[in-house]
């Protein structure tokens, strides 16, 4: 019996937060609990501590007070500084989601609170490179880890997935307007302004841009744009139980991010049969950009949107993209993670 302890804060396993890392942690933990064979999976470490000043306090209190020596493997599910101080002979595995804050710091959000949090995240990313093994969510993340000096032979790529809800028959909503959608965070690296500005180049009537996300970071930019241009609408936060329905309300999906460790919204949208437009110059893993339309600039994105409205989405490409996106499943992800544990333990 292999005993595995999963590190993470209690709230990090809540997929309703609408963030990729939380969705990953939720899906992997619960699916591994259901499918384990000769492996005991437990949430542990900092899962019982509510941080007061971010993950830093959890790191100091949780790991100093907890003995991880009873586990064969300790899996740090995020790159926050949750690394144990008392791991004894346990093997430390860390899932690395991306290294953007270290390799592209110009995309970091700024502000006093963000700077403090960024310092904590940067520390965690450097500490993750001291792990015995790394799980990278994409080829891009693996390449970045190697660039930072980590042994390539100890990195395993296990990509994210979409859950079974996305495999049902798509029920496209009949609407008067051609609806372009965005669903995600408003962080600087998400580059939401690129998509907003593209609408300045669209003269075609009956095109609407609906934007979903939390009221944080560059949220004010979205609100400002929506008041200046009636075609751009801020729709609020997308509840977890409404996401599939929201995707089905779009005719096209834009995701102009400049840096992604994976890019779950891309394959979610494609799994629902949507054409996805990304920024050509963004660092998007090749796994998910395969069937995307790539916009050179804002004007080019506008032309792609107008073409999709006028000519539709090629049915042959739609079918290929949908089948490809649905090959990324959380069931496969959890199975590959369990397989890695067994390989590590010989």
Q: Where are the domains of the chain?
A: 2-161+329-344, 165-325
Q: Is the pLDDT of residue 50 over 50?
A: no
Q: Is the pLDDT of residue 127 over 70?
A: yes
Q: What is the pTM of this model?
A: 0.88
3-state SS class at 316: helix
Min mean pLDDT across 68-82, 154-168, 267-281 is at 68-82
Q: Is the pLDDT of residue 101 over 70?
A: yes
Residue with tokens 């006028």: 310
Q: Is the pLDDT of residue 49 over 80?
A: no
| Sequence-distant (≥ 6) Cβ neighbours of residue 110 within 8 angstroms | 188
pLDDT (average), residues 158-165: 91
Which two structure tokens, joined as six digits, stand for 1?
Answer: 């019996």
CATH 3.30.300.20 fits 2-161+329-344, yes or no: no
Across 12-16, 19-23, 113-117, which has the greatest mean pLDDT?
Answer: 19-23
CATH 2.80.10.50 fits 165-325, yes or no: no
Nearest of 49, 91, 47 to residue 73 by alpha carbon: 91
CA distances from 218 to 108, 117, 224 (A): 12, 17, 10
The answer to whether 6 and 93 are in contact (CB under 8 A) is no
At residue 118, the pLDDT reads 76
Nearest of 173, 158, 228, 165 to residue 200 by alpha carbon: 228
Min mean pLDDT across 38-52, 251-265, 274-288 is at 38-52
Classify the C-alpha dihedral 318-288-75-39 as positive or negative: positive
pLDDT (average), residues 82-110: 82
Same fold, 2-161+329-344 and 165-325: yes
The answer to whether 267 and 279 are in contact (CB under 8 A) is no
pLDDT (average), residues 15-43: 77
At residue 36, the pLDDT reads 62
Which two structure tokens, joined as six digits, stand for 38?
Answer: 């000769």
Q: Is 71 exposed, middle or buried (0-12, 13-18, 19+ CB in 10 A)?
A: buried
| Sequence-distant (≥ 6) Cβ neighbours of residue 246 within 8 angstroms | 181, 183, 212, 235, 238
Average pLDDT of the residues of the chain: 85
Tell me the angle at which helices 264-271 and 315-325 cross, rounded to the nearest 10 degrees: 130
User: What percent of the chain has pLDDT above 90?
Assistant: 48
Q: Is the pLDDT of residue 317 over 80?
A: yes
Q: How confident is the model at residue 83 (pLDDT cuts 50, 70, 90)?
A: low
């Amino acid at each position: 019996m292999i005993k595995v302890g999963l590190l993470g804060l209690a709230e990090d396993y809540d997929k309703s937060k609408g963030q990729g890392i939380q969705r990953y942690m939720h899906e992997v933990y619960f699916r591994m609990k259901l499918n384990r064979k000769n492996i005991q999976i437990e949430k542990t470490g900092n899962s019982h501590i509510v941080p007061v000043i971010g993950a830093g306090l959890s790191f100091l209190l949780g790991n100093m007070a907890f003995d991880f020596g009873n586990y064969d493997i300790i899996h740090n599910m995020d790159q926050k500084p949750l690394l144990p101080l008392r791991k004894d002979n346990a093997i430390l595995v860390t899932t690395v989601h991306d290294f953007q804050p270290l390799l592209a710091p110009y995309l970091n959000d700024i502000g006093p609170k963000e700077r403090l949090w960024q310092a904590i995240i940067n520390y965690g990313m450097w500490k993750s490179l001291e792990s015995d093994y790394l799980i990278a969510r994409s080829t891009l993340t693996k390449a970045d880890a190697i660039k930072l000096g980590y042994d390539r032979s100890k990195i395993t790529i296990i990509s994210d997935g979409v859950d079974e809800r996305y495999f049902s028959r798509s029920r496209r909503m009949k609407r008067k307007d051609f609806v372009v959608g965005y669903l995600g965070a408003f962080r600087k690296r998400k580059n939401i302004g690129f998509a907003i500005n593209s609408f300045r180049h669209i003269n075609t009537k009956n095109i609407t841009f609906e934007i979903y996300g939390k009221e944080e970071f560059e949220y004010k930019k979205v609100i400002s744009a929506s008041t200046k241009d009636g075609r751009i609408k801020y729709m609020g936060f997308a509840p977890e139980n409404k996401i599939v329905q929201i995707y089905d309300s779009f005719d096209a999906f834009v995701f102009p991010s400049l840096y992604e460790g994976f890019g779950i919204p891309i394959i979610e949208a494609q799994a629902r049969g949507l054409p996805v437009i990304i920024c050509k110059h963004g660092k998007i893993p090749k796994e998910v950009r395969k069937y995307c339309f790539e916009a050179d600039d804002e004007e080019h994105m506008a032309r792609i949107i107008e073409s999709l409205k006028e000519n539709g989405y090629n049915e042959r490409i739609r079918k290929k993209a949908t089948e490809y996106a649905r090959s990324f499943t959380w069931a496969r992800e959890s199975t590959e993670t369990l397989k890695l544990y067994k390989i590590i333990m010989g």
